[in-house]
Amino acid sequence: MSEITTVDLFCGAGGFSEGFSKSGGFKPLLAVDFDKQAIATFQHNHPNIPTICTDISELSKDNLLNLTKHENVQVIIGGPPCQGFSIAGKRLPDDPKNVLFKEYVRIVDILQPDIFIFENVVGIVSMQGGLVLEAICNEFSKIGYELSHGVLNSADYGVPQARPRFIMIGSKHNKVIGMPEPTHEALYKKGGNTRLKNHVSVKDALSNLPLIHQGQGEEVVANTKAKNEYQKLISGTRYPGKLFNQRATKHNECIIERYSHLPQGGDIRSLPENLRTKKNNVFRLKDDVPSRTITCNFRTDIIHPWVPRGITTREAARLQSFDDDYQFFGNLTRKAKYLTQDDQVGNAVPPLLAKALADHIKEYL
């Protein structure tokens, strides 16, 4: 069987493409993103995937066909930013807020893949009372696609993070493709006999990483021996024995004291009054369950379960299910116009969720 051709739009640091690579049997023709630093990370980890750093609105039909070498594109993956959609009735008007999504539809219409997978925030389901989702479905239906959609919990597919994501699968040829079946479940749901594995916990994900304190760590260190199945799975094959991006942010004494008093699973409201701040979205990880959603501000908002500091890029990448030798490039703080390491990790599709989707759609191609 020949390899299945793919195009990755809004590819970022490469989580979607990484999952498809792990699934095997796919031939990536092109990956596109407008951020220079995200593309640098993508290219380093996927040197054999053709990439272009550009705004997709600047890609003409001729550009696309030349970049994909006029091959038949079977699958398109990606998730355009969809914050603040503007709608008129049940349609998406030509409003700047809608441009990136409409460009995604335009490229799907040009390349006419057999299947596309559209990934986004779960809030898209309830935007403007469901009218935004209805308008999105209308846009894809107009260009000939049968649709299914759902909200998937990443933890149900082996990711040590309870990250809900909206997934839409579009298919041609009068097929409707549903969502992949879960492979994992929460321990409290377990019955006597089950084919599902336990959810992967924060402890499962982080327990063999070098336990560094605030201000410590390095960009490249020797990896340590895996203690469980998950750690073996994500140990990596690019640079065996190496671990990247394990560098912790330095905090002042006041912040360290605040973090020290946070209980596992607690937030700012768990603290004594004198240690609270107006910023409520600071949480300490609970080590016996999957992580909460990894955001782009994990150095200040997501606190390590065992030491009083924000988590590192590598710890966040572990919780996102990236391999240990998947290396992220860029600043740790927002001093440049390009995406930080935090943005790249926080914005990514978890590779193991992407792999589950890739495994699933292969049955229909």
Angle between helices 15-23 and 351-361 (to 10 degrees): 50
Burial 75-102 (b: 16+ CB within 10 A, else e): bbbbbbebeebebeeeebeeeeebbbbb
CA distance 20 to 153: 18
Gap between the Cα atoms of 301 and 82, Å rounded = 23
> Which residue matches tokens 């107006």?
278
> Which three-class secondary structure state does DSSP give residue 291?
strand
Start-end of H helices in the chain: 15-23, 36-45, 61-67, 99-111, 131-142, 202-206, 229-233, 253-261, 298-301, 313-320, 341-347, 351-361
What three-state secondary structure class fits 80?
Answer: coil
Residues with Cβ within 8 Å of residue 254, at least 6 apart in sequence: none
Are 300 and 282 a contacting pair, CB within 8 Å? yes
What lies within 8 Å, CB to CB, of 60 at 6+ separation is none
Q: What does the alpha-carbon distance between residue 240 and residue 324 come to, in Å, rounded to a whole number? A: 9
Q: Establish whether 296 is a catalytic residue.
A: no
CA angle 158, 161, 162 (to 5 degrees): 100
List the catalytic residue out of 82, 137, 254, 296.
82
Nearest-10 crossing angle of helices 99-111, 131-142: 30
Task: Return the H-helix or E-strand segment holding 171.
Answer: strand 164-171
Question: What are the beta bridge partners of residue 242?
Answer: 222
Contact 50, 64 (CB under 8 A): no
The β-bridge partners of 291 are 161
Q: Known catalytic residues?
A: 82
